[in-house]
Amino acid sequence: MFSEIQTFIESQLSSGNFSFSTALFLALGGLFAGLLPCVYPLYPITAGILKTRVAKHKWSHPLVYYFGLALMYAIFGLIAGVSGGVFNSFLRFPETQLVLAILLFVLGLSVAEFLYFPFFSGDLKNSVNVNYANTFFLGMGAGLLSSPCVGPVVVSILVQLINYQTEGFKILPILFTSFKMFLFGMGLGIPFLMIGVFGLSLPKSGKWMKYIQWSLAILIFYFSYTYLEKAFDLWGLAKGLSLKVFLLWTVALLFLYLQKKEGTTTEKMKQSLYQIVSITALLILFLFLNLSLWKQNYGNAVSNSNSSNQEIKEEHGNLVWYRNESDALRLAKDKNIPIFIDFYADWCTNCKEFQKLTLTNKEWNETFRRDVILWKVYDTDSIFETFVSNPEYPELKIGLPFFLILSPDGRRLYKSNDYLDTKGMISTIRNFSNNLK
């Protein structure tokens, strides 16, 4: 049921039609996306921003915040149309996840009252901090922070925008789809609006409020860690390393903070943050230099090794993936079986999940082992850009994963960015074999 609803929402996003039902389902799609766990840490942040702003303006500031968030998604549509989906790819980079992890960590310190940001406080005695423009831009910031969570839901709209670009730049279709993204953002922002209007009537005094603040801060710290974990996973680092780094960084920050005897809580925490960031930057620089040297030596060794082998291939479990176009085409013609192309990147989480599934899913594994030639194309390979520039594959301009099945003579049989489409992939391969009989 849910997958059918999602398919309908995506079809409405990418279609050229519009109706009341279209608007309704786009908003519902945004609302469902807003209930994803990775959006949760933004709710206490929203409560902290708006808790005093509604004292005299119960609806106005939450509404301004709400429209700021929705407008951010309209801007995403415009950027995607102009850039060809580059922005969506940017949100998938491990560096982006790292920045989000750091930002959430700092916001967690703010919720726990270790740091003070005037634009979060909303002190009514200072009109500068509670003006509507400030609230509007904070809402846009919430839209930006929530975007990595809901990006997969709106992939089809980005594909549609790129299709418009292949026909030439057309401003009206881009503006129209941007408006659809705005409706999606309005649905996503409904929980934020409700928190701003109805969720802020609790008493402000009492020790129990401190416990609530700390509980919310811990929740934000947890999601900060999840973003860090995703960044480490996209970099291909060892499992568990992200937790060790997060705990070590937190303990070091706490130690530096406790060493400060003078100054306010905020001043001591700022000084501790400056110190820990400086130490971290030096360590990263040291590790980067050593890693660069290792890669250079390793690259030379691999180059020498490859020069003595005509076929370049990788083995993952019992599957062999060829790395050269010539090898894949030659073997496919010799055996008269299709070529399965997996477009892969180290930063792509779903690419890695697909690689695991090819080994754990029995039907997939048997089909890939016997009935196709496997060709893996990395985003760093020169031929990757050749596929990206091909107007038949606009999905590659958005991001990965992406899969192709070609006949031995290079004719396209299948394409998809859905790494879970077991039925589509296997049926395409078997239909080719059946047609030969």
Residue-level pLDDT, tens digit, the chain, 437 residues? 444 444 555 555 545 556 777 677 778 777 877 776 667 667 777 777 776 665 556 678 888 888 999 898 888 777 766 665 555 566 667 888 888 888 878 878 877 778 876 544 444 344 444 578 878 888 888 887 776 655 545 544 444 444 444 444 456 666 777 787 888 889 888 888 888 777 644 444 455 556 666 776 787 788 788 888 888 877 777 778 999 999 999 999 999 999 888 888 889 999 999 999 898 888 888 877 776 666 555 555 444 444 444 568 899 899 999 999 999 999 999 999 999 999 998 767 678 889 888 999 999 899 999 999 999 999 888 899 899 889 888 878 767 889 999 999 989 999 988 888 888 899 999 998 887 76
Distance of CA 323 to the CA centre of its chain: 27
Lookup: tokens for 367: 């089909």
CB 40 within 8 A of CB 191: no
Residue 228 CB burial class (10 angstroms; 0-12, 13-18, ≥19): buried
Distant-in-sequence, close-in-space partners of 161: CB < 8 Å, separation ≥ 6: 77, 80, 81, 84, 85, 173, 174, 177
What pLDDT was estimated at residue 203? 44
Q: What is the pLDDT of residue 437?
A: 61
Decide: 307 and 341 in contact? Cβ < 8 Å: no
Q: Assess contact for 335 and 386: CB atoms under 8 A.
A: no
pLDDT reported for residue 118: 55
Contact yes or no for 243/229 (Cβ under 8 A): yes
In the structure encoding, which two tokens stand for residue 57, read together? Answer: 């303006």
Does residue 200 contact residue 54 with C-beta atoms inside 8 Å?
Answer: yes
Distance CA 38, CA 214 (A): 19
Structure token pair of residue 174 = 């881009």
Residue 76 has a pLDDT of: 77
pLDDT reported for residue 331: 94
SS (H, E, C) the chain: CHHHHHHHHHHHHHCCCCCHHHHHHHHHHHHHHCCCHHHCCHHHHHHHHHCCCCCCCCCHHHHHHHHHHHHHHHHHHHHHHHHCCHHHHHCCCHHHHHHHHHHHHHHHHHHCCCCCCHHHHCCCCCHHHHCHHHHHHHHHHHHHHHHHHHHHHHHHHHHHHHHHHHCCCCHHHHHHHHHHHHHHHHHHCHHHHHHHHHCCCCCCCCHHHHHHHHHHHHHHHHHHHHHHHHHHHHCCCCCCHHHHHHHHHHHHHHHHHHHCCCCCHHHHHHHHHHHHHHHHHHHHHHHHHHHHHHHHHHHHHHHHHHHCCCCCEEEECCEEEECCHHHHHHHHHHHCCCEEEEEECCCCHHHHHHHHHHHHCHHHHHHHHHCCEEEEEECCCHHHHHHHCCCCCCHHHHCCCEEEEECCCCCEEEEECCCCCHHHHHHHHHHHHHHHC
C-alpha to C-alpha distance for 335 and 341, rounded to whole angstroms: 17
Query: According to the model, what pLDDT value does residue 31 have?
Result: 82
Q: What is the structure's pLDDT at 413? A: 94
